[in-house]
């Protein structure tokens, strides 16, 4: 589970935001000044020292065409660290770690890190990396939008795409 609370805000797109717990943040566009358009994303990035120098450099991102419906693919919005994102259902994914890396907090929907990556200040957030173990829910992330919000989001995005042209 992510580290924050979802709150209803009718004045913004999608009508909800994630308010992150202290020490946590979300995948974002670099701004956290309240104008961030991605505030609906879950709080899964720890705000502690991460030392990537002990890990191999990631390979360059391959150039590929982005499918038109990528906004509905959970892997389009997911950071898996030293792992790969695999969609398991319409709104579910798992981060499958490379050898030598494990999911944060042993949850397969969190990014993959090695133990040397986590700084000592990460322990105050309860962050550990260990051997991969199964979680009671299978470690699958789930985005749940209550009621007919799925259809409202689809309709708004369709209208925006039509008006964009």
Q: 3-state SS of the chain?
A: CCCEEEEECCCCHHHEEEEECCCEEECCCCCCCCCCCCCCCCEEEECCCECHHHCCCCCCCCCCCCCCCHHHCHHHCCCCECEEEEEEECCEEEEEECCCCEEECCCCCCCEECHHHECHHHHHHCCCECCCCCCCCCCCCCCCCCCCHHHHHHHHHHHHHHHHC
Amino acid 94: pLDDT: 92
Per-10-residue mean pLDDT of the chain, 165 residues long, equals 78 80 72 62 79 71 58 78 86 89 86 83 76 46 53 67 67
Amino acid 95: pLDDT: 93
First CA to last CA across the chain, in angstroms? 38
Q: Where are the domains of the chain?
A: 4-55+70-164
User: What's the pTM?
Assistant: 0.52
Distance CA 57, CA 86 (A): 21
């Amino acid at each position: 589970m992510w580290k924050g609370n979802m709150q209803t805000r009718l004045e913004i797109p999608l009508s909800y935001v994630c308010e992150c717990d202290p020490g946590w943040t979300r995948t974002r566009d670099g701004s956290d000044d309240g104008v961030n358009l991605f505030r609906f994303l879950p709080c899964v990035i720890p705000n502690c020292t991460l030392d990537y120098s002990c890990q191999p450099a990631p390979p360059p991102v391959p150039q590929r065409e982005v499918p038109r419906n990528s906004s509905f693919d959970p892997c389009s919005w997911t950071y898996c660290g030293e792992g790969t994102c695999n969609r398991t259902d319409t709104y579910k994914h798992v981060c499958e770690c490379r050898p030598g890396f494990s999911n944060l907090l042993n949850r397969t929907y969190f990014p993959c890190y090695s133990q040397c990556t986590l700084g000592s200040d990460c322990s105050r957030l309860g962050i550990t990396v260990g051997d991969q173990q199964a979680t009671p829910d299978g470690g699958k992330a789930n985005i749940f939008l209550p009621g007919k919000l799925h259809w409202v989001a689809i309709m708004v995005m369709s209208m925006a795409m039509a008006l964009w042209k």
